[in-house]
Amino acid sequence: MTNYSRRRVLKGTLAGAAVTVGLPLLDCQLNGNGDALASGDALPVAFGNWYQGLGLNPGMWIPKKVGAGFENNIQLKVLDPYRSKMNIFSGMRYFLDGRPHETHTSTVEIAMTGAVFASIDKIGPSLDHKIADVIGNRTRFRSINTSLDGSRRSLSRRSGTASSPAEPVPANLYKQLFGPEFQDPNAAEFSPDPSVMARRSVLSHVTDQRKSLMAELDTSDRTRLDEYFTAIREIEQQLDLQMQKPVAMPACSKPSEMTDTQVGSLVSDVQKNAKLLARLTAHALACGQTRIFNVTTGSQGWRFEGNPRGWHVTTHEESLDPVLGYQKTVFKFLTAANETFADFIGALDGFKEGSGTLLDRTLVLWQTDHGDARTHTIEDIPIMTLGGAGGRIKTGMHVRSAGEPCCRVGLTVQQALGVPISAWGDRSNQTSRTVTEIMGNV
């Protein structure tokens, strides 16, 4: 074991100030695969996780045709401009394996982590974290988490005890991404900021105390402290990155500054903020600031002005329209939600990069909790992916399944993005069957 610390290495070079900084190679720079950024050709893949509770209208989203060349059903027509870049999965389901059906909770856990867990200390990482472990360690932000309804909670979690906060306010996200600490990756000159070096060095004094702290703790507290130190290590890695000349990102541009907006669960506010957050997310991806984003829609609380019930309550309390055969207000909510999603996808697809678009090198996974929210069904769950992950995913397919676990899609997405797993999910949700129809060049 070599007896050096990163801090000491840094310290030695600080005297020389703004020249090349020789950092020891970090583990994270070695893992991951297929990243051709350094050579300047292929742009890196990105992953987006879109979670929208309350399902879709049964009978109104499944395309008639299975396989390639499907037509969108009425509720998903709004996604027509991206039809060749999307996949739809129907017929899959969640399994509870005899556990109580905590509506809107159990199935969220399966969608995000592959399993329903009994207690907070047994919850596994959400799939975005598993993906971030592979592709998220070389950017200034490991991921950006936003919520559309004003909430500060996201569904992204490293474990049950470490769940990521979400940023609902576009103006705040702007400051974090493009505030004074933003370095233009295309700037000709680069000199590492001495204060970043100093911060890095100071943090290592915290990590140097790890051993003596750990010695005092029992197993469960050690696990929690481990999570703390993992998080600190990630900050250190981000600081290390800030001391290196950023890789040029040709399509990068800084968005115009954002002013404060009204944030909340009114659909009009949700849609306005979603547009701003989409723009920021697109610029952040294009500028190499992150490769992972999570959007929590908080759809259960969405409201239309003047309507006493939120979306969730409406799904349970609105009568089926005797003529139309569906819940009219719920349909309105779904239309709004699908428009919001389509707008977000539009922001990625509208961002040109070379001969393609940002969406082409991104993979967005759309998931939900129930097939029919009105009665909390867990069968025939709608799932979508958008974007081709730089050729790793084939698109334009409707994949029909006969009651297989939804985790098949989660497995496929993770494998496409380089997560080294052969199976995903717990008990009946577990599957090792990749959706081979959509696997591209991984």
Partner 1 sequence: MSRKALMVGVAGLVVAAGAGAFFAFTPHKAAPVGEAGKAVTRRLTNDQYANVIAEVFGPSIELSGRLEPDTRANNLIEVGAGQVSVSSDGMAQYEMMARGIASQVVSERTRDEMLPCKPKAPKEADAACADQFLTRVGSLLFRRPLTAEEQKHYVTAAGESATTLKDFYAGVSLSLGAMLASPQFLFRHERVEADPDVKGEFRIDAYSKASRLSFFLWNSIPDDTLLAAAKSGELHTARGLNRQVARMLASPRLENGVRAFFADMFGFDALPTLAKDTTLYPSFDNVTVRDAEEQTLRTIADVLVSKQGDYRDIFTTRQTFLTQTLASIYNVELVNDAPNGGADMWLPYEFSENSGRGGVLTHLSFLALHSHPGRSSPTLRGKALREVMLCQKVPAPPAAVDFALVEDTSNPLFKTARQRLEAHRTNPVCAGCHKITDPVGLALETFDGDGSHRDTENGAQIDTNGELDGIKFSDAAGVGRAVHDNPAALSCVADRLVAYGLGRMPVESEAAWREGLKQSFAAAQYKFVELMSKIATSPEFYRAAPPAPTSTAALSAPNQSGQTEVVR
245-284 residues near partner 1, rule: CB under 8 A: 264-266
Q: From the CB of 184, what's the least distance to partner 1, in Å?
A: 21
103 belongs to the binding site for partner 1 (CB under 8 A): yes
Nearest-approach distance from CB 234 to partner 1, in angstroms: 5
Name which of 395, 186, 362 is nearest 291 in CA terms.
362
Task: Note whether 295 and 146 are within 8 A (CB).
Answer: yes
Specify the DSSP element, H or E, that contains 238.
Answer: helix 219-242
Cβ atoms of 279 and 255 within 8 Å: the answer is yes
List 130, 279, 283, 303, residue binding partner 1 (CB under 8 A)? 303
Widest CA span in the chain: 78
Count of residues engaged in binding partner 1, rule: CB under 8 A: 97
Q: Running DSSP on this structure, what letter comes out for residue 303?
A: B
Cβ proximity to partner 1: between 232 and 247 the closer is: 232
Query: Of these, 117, 182, 229, 331, which contacts partner 1 (CB under 8 A)?
Result: 229
* Residue 438 CA, distance from chain mean position: 20
By CB under 8 A, residue 436 contacts partner 1: no
User: Which residues ranging from 12 to 51 are in contact with partner 1 (CB under 8 A)?
Assistant: 14, 26-28, 31
Binding of partner 1 at residue 159 (CB under 8 A)?
yes
Of 83-91, 163-171, 355-363, 386-394, which part binds partner 1 (CB under 8 A)? 163-171
Q: Which residue has the tokens 């990155």?
A: 241
Cα angle 214-218-221, degrees, rounded to a multiple of 5: 75
Chosen residue from 37, 42, 77, 153 binding partner 1 by CB under 8 A: 153
- Name which of 59 and 165 has its Cβ closer to partner 1: 165
Contact window for partner 1 (CB under 8 A) among 69-77, 138-146, 340-348, 352-360: 138-146
* Pairwise CA distance, residues 337 & 295, whole Å: 13
Q: Is residue 379 involved in binding partner 1 (CB under 8 A)?
A: no
Query: Is the Cβ of residue 189 or residue 305 nearer to partner 1 in the bound state?
Result: 305
Among 212, 259, 355, 422, interactor with partner 1 by CB under 8 A: 212
215 belongs to the binding site for partner 1 (CB under 8 A):
yes
Stretch that binds partner 1, among 183-191, 240-248, 251-259, 307-315 (CB under 8 A): 307-315
Task: Single out the residue of 9, 23, 60, 163 in contact with partner 1 (rule: CB under 8 A).
Answer: 163
Strand order in the sheet with 86-92: 67-68, 397-400, 86-92, 381-386, 362-367, 46-51, 292-296, 144-147
The 8-class DSSP code of residue 431 comes to B
| Helix (DSSP H) and strand (DSSP E) numbers for the chain | 11, 12
* Alpha-carbon distances, residue 427 vs 100, 116, 198 (angstroms): 15, 10, 48
Q: Which of 306, 323, 355, 402 binds partner 1 (CB under 8 A)?
A: 306
Among 84, 161, 256, 262, binds partner 1 (CB under 8 A): 161
For residue 35, the SS3 value is: coil
Shortest distance (Å) from residue 349 CB to partner 1? 26
Stretch that binds partner 1, among 40-48, 108-116, 136-144, 278-286 (CB under 8 A): 136-144
State which residue, 3 or 39, has the beta carbon closest to partner 1.
3
What is the chain's percent helix, strand, coil content, to nearest 5? 40, 15, 45
